[in-house]
Structure 1
Amino acid sequence: MPTIQIMSVIGSAVPASLRELGLLACWYLVEDGEPISGPLTSLPDAQALSRQIAHRFDA
């Protein structure tokens, strides 16, 4: 089973499109250091997506 982790980025690492909206942080899901999701705008969103992916592997 793959290990899914949540990675946060801040400041200039946040995509310009999100910084233009005033966001100074975003979150990605990563597996083995590789992003498997686009930037997510909240930690709860990242956690929910992580749970959804984990449930797929439990089935």
Structure 2
Amino acid sequence: MATIQIMSVVGSAVPTSLREQGLLACWYLMRNGETVSGPLRSLASAKALAEQLQPGMLLA
């Protein structure tokens, strides 16, 4: 089973809807190079979701 990883993006890579809310960074969950969730508003929420999806296998 592939491990879930957390990827962060900043600046213009952040979706417009989040930039309009003042966010300059967001996080996505990735597995095998493919997005499985996101964009997430905080690293804490990304870690929590990753733990729910794959307990004990998070790489950040």
Assess same fold via TM > 0.5: yes
Residues 1:22 and 2:12 aligned together: no
* Structure with bigger gyration radius: 1
State the Cα distance separating 1:10 from its structure 2 match: 0.1
Q: Percent identity?
A: 67
Separation of aligned partners in 1, 2:34 and 2:10:
18
Q: Which runs of 5+ in 1 are unaligned?
A: none
Separation of aligned partners in 2, 1:51 and 1:38:
14
Structure with larger RCO (C-alpha < 8 A, sep 6+): 2
RMSD: 0.7
Separation of aligned partners in 2, 1:16 and 1:51:
27
State the Cα distance separating 1:38 from its structure 2 match: 2.0
Question: Which structure: greater helix fraction?
Answer: 1
Question: Which structure: greater strand fraction?
Answer: 2
Answer with 30-39 or 9-18: which moved more: 30-39
State the Cα distance separating 1:46 from its structure 2 match: 0.2
- Secondary structure of the residue aligned to 2:2 is coil
Aligned residues: 55
Alignment-derived partner of residue 43 in structure 1:
43
What is the TM-score when the length of structure 1 is the normalising length?
0.89
Separation of aligned partners in 1, 2:53 and 2:25:
22
